[in-house]
Amino acid sequence: MNENPHTSIVTGDADGISQAVAHLRSGRTVALPTETVYGLAADAFNSAAVEAIFVAKKRPHSDPLIVHVGESHRTLAKLAADGIVDGSKLTEVARRIVEGLTARFWPGPLTLLLPKGPKIDSSITAGHALVAVRHPDHPVFMEILARLGQPIVAPSANLFGRISPTCADHVYRQLNGRIPLIVDGGECRVGLESTILRIESDGNLTLLRPGGTPVEGIEAALGRRVRLLDAKEAENRAPLAPGCMSSHYAPTKPTRMIASLDDVKALGEAMTAGHDFPTRVGLLLTRQGSTLAPTLSFTFPATRWDIEHLPVDDQGRDAAAGLFSALHRLDTLPLELILVETPTSNQHLWRATRDRLKRATARSDQLAVPKY
């Protein structure tokens, strides 16, 4: 694909917003900032524009898209009136849960999986009867939604399966020449994609993807437990929502997780059995007071180590905001391998960070090393 020999970058000021709206109205794609990650946006009611997203990202049609709505579609009644959601297929208890979630968490990084309305093409939902909907919380995106006057689909603005972009430069490096325009709105505040919830007919909630809205906050707000999919159930279920494939968010370099010092020893044994240990390796540290870096340097003294540190805080907000940027920095270096220290926590935003790291390191065909 080379329809856009050069991709333009504009700032998210009044002129940049006007250019973005004009592009969207003419059926073109535009990379836009959100509070989570940069999204590759298109008019949700223009099937040709939606198809251009799949082409630009090299995204399989089996992976659904999220429909982003503005303030005018914040209520379930308005979503149903405009054919985005089929409210008649929601029970009264599910309806109350949806209204409670949207009132508390929209705008913000929470996506709800709801019955698809008649105006949503099946290409957006990968043929499923449910559509993923969210109201983003970024001033540039919200202004564009308001001026366009209708919903926008916007998966992450990167090549399919690769590291999500949290700044305009990340988008440009992956999609230059594949899309016409990027609106630069600065660094993304949350830095991880939205949480995706399915609301069952009995009002129970199922977490399909952890993200920028912690499960603990949802449970506290509603007084209900959120059901977590076990590993086997998640693996066997066809993706109802984006970002749920086992391998995703991956650097171009082989990437593995290391949970303990025993893993370091096992890694060395596996890689020196018929392989020279890499001479230059990236290391992403995720724990307060980690001793992994000196241990690796001592164990493999001939290797150069390029080290990134994720900020460590109890809620995991700083780590989440910095994760993809750290992976991007490592991926631009001439590394043979990236090692990631497994975070110790699986609560709050650490849950989403662990999820992204697990998927980013899921490939097993890149190097003959243990898969953690």
- Per the domain annotation, does 182 fall within a domain? yes
CATH code of 21's domain: 3.90.870.10
pLDDT tens string 80-133: 999 999 999 999 999 999 999 999 999 999 999 999 999 999 999 999 999 999
Q: In what order do the strands lie in the sheet with 195-199?
A: 8-11, 181-184, 30-32, 39-43, 152-153, 66-68, 130-134, 110-115, 195-199, 205-209, 226-228
The rounded distance, in Å, linking the Cα atoms of 119 and 98 is 20
The answer to the question of residue 244 being in a domain is no
Selection from 154, 155, 156, 136 nearest residue 146 by Cα: 136
pLDDT, mean of residues 343-369: 82
The lowest-confidence range among 34-43, 53-62, 230-239, 294-303 is: 230-239
Residue 190 reports pLDDT greater than 50: yes
Encoding tokens for residue 5?
A: 């020999």
Q: Quick one: pLDDT band at residue 4, thresholds 50, 70, 90?
A: low
The predicted pLDDT at position 366 comes to: 44
Indicate the pTM of the whole model. Answer: 0.93
Cα–Cα dist 263/271, whole Å? 12
Residue 243 placed within a domain: no
Residue 92, in any domain of the structure: yes
Judge if 49 and 195 occupy the same domain: yes
Q: Is residue 247 part of a domain?
A: no
**CB neighbour list of residue 88: distance below 8 Å, 6 or more residues apart:** 80, 115
The answer to whether position 95 is within a domain reads yes
Q: Would you state the pLDDT for residue 263?
A: 81
- Containing domain of residue 101, as a range? 8-236
Residue 42 shares a structural domain with residue 73: yes
Buried b (16+ CB within 10 A) or exposed e, 54-88: bebbebeeebbbbbbbbeebeebeebbebebbbbe
What pLDDT, on a 0 to 100 scale, did the predictor assign at position 140?
98
Are residues 44 and 133 located together in one domain of the fold? yes
3 falls within a domain: no
Hey, what are 109's tokens?
């990084």
Q: Which of 346, 337, 282, 289 is nearest to 312 (CA)?
A: 289
Domain count, the chain: 2
Q: Both 229 and 274 in a single domain? A: no
Quick one: what percent of the chain has pLDDT higher than 70? 91
pLDDT above 80: residue 365 = no
Same domain, yes or no: 158 and 285: no
**Are residues 304 and 216 both part of a single domain?**
no
Report pLDDT digits (tens) over 230-284: 766 655 555 666 766 677 899 999 999 998 778 877 777 766 665 678 999 999 9
Indicate whether 272 and 180 sit together in one domain: no
Is 187 found in the same domain as 276?
Answer: no
* Closest CA relative to residue 197, chosen from 130, 288, 269: 130
**Confidence (pLDDT) at 232:** 62
117 and 58 within one domain: yes
Domain check: are 15 and 142 in the same one? yes
Q: Are residues 270 and 205 in the same domain?
A: no
Q: Same domain, yes or no, for 284 and 196?
A: no
**Residue 343's CATH number:** 3.40.50.11030
| Mean pLDDT for the stretch of residues 279-297 | 93
